[in-house]
Amino acid sequence: MADRSLMLVLAVFAVYRLATDLAWMDGPGGLYAHWRGFVMMRYGKDDWRSEGVTCPICLSFWLSFPAAFVWGPLVWLGIAGAAAFLVRVKS
């Protein structure tokens, strides 16, 4: 049980880190900034996809999706919610 709890906590922090990096940081070699710029250029600044790539809360929802295959849909939403909570606490 403790190992499962630890994995859940680590998953939350991993999603938080990746979501904030993708949304706000340039990334290695400007990779994240290039990816965001590509999405904005392709779909336009006002498109929901362009807004989503700059929102760590939106990204955390999609980045936590793979956990659904391991732990189920409830954990998916739990990880996304916890990552969103961390983003809001930091902001």
Query: Which residue do the tokens 């498109």 mark?
Result: 47
Residues 87/56, Cβ–Cβ less than 8 Å: yes
DSSP 44: -
- For 26-54, what is the mean pLDDT? 95
Q: What's this model's pTM, rounded to 2 decimal places?
A: 0.81
Region for residue 16 given its phi and psi (left: phi exceeds 0; alpha: psi -120 to 50; beta: otherwise): alpha
The pLDDT tens digits for 46-77 are 999 999 999 999 999 999 988 778 778 878 88
